[in-house]
Structure 1
Amino acid sequence: MIVQACINGARPRDFHPKLPLTAQAMASDAAACVAAGAAELHIHPRSADGRESLAAVDATVLAVRRACPGTLIGVSTGAWIENDVERTRAAIAGWRELPDYASVNLSEADAPAVMELLRQRGVRIEAGLATTEDAERFVSHADHGRVLRILIEIDIQELPAALAEAHGIVAALDRAGVRRPMLLHGADATVWPFVELARRRRWSTRVGLEDGRTLPDGKVAQDNAEIVSAAAAVFWSKT
């Protein structure tokens, strides 16, 4: 049961003035998040022009690891980043500064191959499930037990529908007898209700500018560290 900081995601530069887009900015921001209560980090490395890039993983992971020694660092492998299956696979195969884990979206056609490549490289896997269909696809694979954790990530903004989708994912996992650590997070309107739900279920959660820029009271946060601090307060003051 942890709070993971997701510090940038695919958000555009104008989403927030403190959105970290360079390796050094991510390293500094990550250190502040760890000091605020984050146990792990989820990062989308960016190239020099600010675009997401799997080729930027080495420099980014190295910078963040130096700033946050001992903290687990994860990256995204989202298909949209390279927008080409072969470029995605080649980038992962070429990593030299390996992240501790990587997130793989089960909605993506090449997810099984990406997961196998990550295993070959010694990188642990967060299996990203956004729908019940993703969960059913995940449990259909023989290697579904060989993941670090399951990432339940719902983009639906209407809370009742988002909760129903999350419960559907959990039900599909339960039917298949899957017993892996869970991390639940929302996006924008559902961030804080899902932090509360994760606390009640004793799952991990994730917060940061990738998922939303507001605090529980609706105010825009100063930075990622303030969001993490608020989530840590929710998690640990009520357990």
Structure 2
Amino acid sequence: MKQRLQVCLNGRRGGADGAGVPLSPAALAESAAEAVAAGATEIHVHPRTPCGRESLSPRVVGPTLEAIRARVRVPVGVTTGAWAEPDPALRLERVRSWSVRPDFASVNWHEPGAAELAGELLAMGVGVEAGIWSGTDGAARFAVSPLGPSVLRVLAEVTDPDPVTAEESARALLTELGAAHGRPVLLHGEEGGTWPVLRLAGRLGLATRIGLEDTLLLPDGEPALTNARLVTEGLAQYDRSLP
């Protein structure tokens, strides 16, 4: 069975991180199409205003989703990170106002208002990725959440950027998660920990992700100029790690 590889197109990066980071709906759609052609089976995106600010406004989320869906036929998900809208009540209001809805949305379980937001998304028919970050109480909160069995998957995010210790951090996070309410787990790292954690996901047979949100570098330290290049290398690294 083909393992799912999600591509994370841009994240919190901006123009200062390089011309290859897509920000506008058109650029995100083009990057998504290239990544899917390279083998990505899902899209994760952080919609931006014309000035480059992350936003959960329906006037920003809708056009971004429509542009990407015009180019690809794979599930498309968005962030609901608190940095895009710090006020939990306003964040919930923004999400409720979405007229164009994503296939799924990531909800960081350690953030204020996470349970209410996840419940609203599920009621709207939007899949929920339970974002469980290492170094937070997200795993403990998720373990006792009645919503746990209903989420689409667990997004296990290893925030340790050290390539030497990231795998150890990933294993510790997976131990914290335990059975994870029986939901599938997508394991990924960031920055220097991206590639070690991706290879660990391959060895464990877990889904993973890659993209300019997580790293700007290829495994050899060379700049990764496009998401498609990261997907190509990510699949190669993943397949070589399979047991």
TM-score per shorter chain, which class? Answer: over 0.9
Task: Measure the CA separation in 2 of the matches of 1:74 and 1:89.
Answer: 17
Which residues in structure 2 correspond to 1:128-167 (within 5 Å)?
A: 128-131=131-134, 133-159=137-163, 161-167=165-171
Residue aligning to 2:108: 105
SS at match of 2:148: coil
Task: Measure the CA separation in 2 of the matches of 1:3 and 1:114.
Answer: 25
Give 1 or 2: higher helix fraction: 1
The gaps in structure 2 that reach 5 residues or longer are none
Task: Measure the CA separation in 2 of the matches of 1:144 and 1:163.
Answer: 25
Task: Measure the CA separation in 1 of the matches of 2:55 and 2:121.
Answer: 17
Residue aligning to 2:193: 190
Q: Is 1:170 matched up with 2:174?
A: yes
Specify which of 52, 58, 65 is matched with residue 54 of structure 2. Answer: 52
Task: Measure the CA separation in 1 of the matches of 2:30 and 2:88.
Answer: 32
Residue aligning to 1:227: 230
Which residues in structure 2 correspond to 1:68-147 (within 5 Å)?
A: 68-69=72-73, 71-131=74-134, 133-147=137-151
Do the aligned partners of residues 164 and 233 (structure 1) sit closer, same or farther apart at CA in structure 2, a change above 3 Å counting? closer
TM-score, reference length from structure 2: 0.93
Task: Measure the CA separation in 1 of the matches of 2:53 and 2:142.
Answer: 29
The gaps in structure 1 that reach 5 residues or longer are none
Do the aligned partners of residues 203 and 6 (structure 1) sit closer, same or farther apart at CA in structure 2, a change above 3 Å counting? same
Alignment: residue pair count: 237
Q: Is 1:10 matched up with 2:7?
A: no
> RMSD in angstroms over aligned alpha carbons?
1.5
Q: For 1:111-158, what per-residue CA distance to the aligned partner results, in whole angstroms no more than 9, with x for missing partners?
A: 001101101111000001113621111011112111111111111123
Q: For 1:85-108, what per-residue CA distance to the aligned partner results, in whole angstroms no more than 9, with x for missing partners?
A: 222111100111110000000110
SS at match of 2:102: coil
| Contact kept? 2:88, 2:112, Cα under 8 Å | no
1:177 Cα shift?
Answer: 6.2
Letter of the 2:45 partner, please give it.
Answer: I
SS at match of 1:82: coil
Task: Measure the CA separation in 1 of the matches of 2:224 and 2:238.
Answer: 18
Q: What is the percentage of aligned positions where both structures have the same residue?
A: 39
Residue aligning to 2:182: 179
SS at match of 1:151: strand
Specify which of 215, 218, 231 is matched with residue 215 of structure 1. Answer: 218
1:238 Cα shift?
Answer: 5.1
Q: Which runs of 4+ in 1 moved over 4 A?
A: none
| Contact kept? 2:200, 2:241, Cα under 8 Å | no
Task: Measure the CA separation in 2 of the matches of 1:77 and 1:232.
Answer: 27
TM-score, reference length from structure 1: 0.94
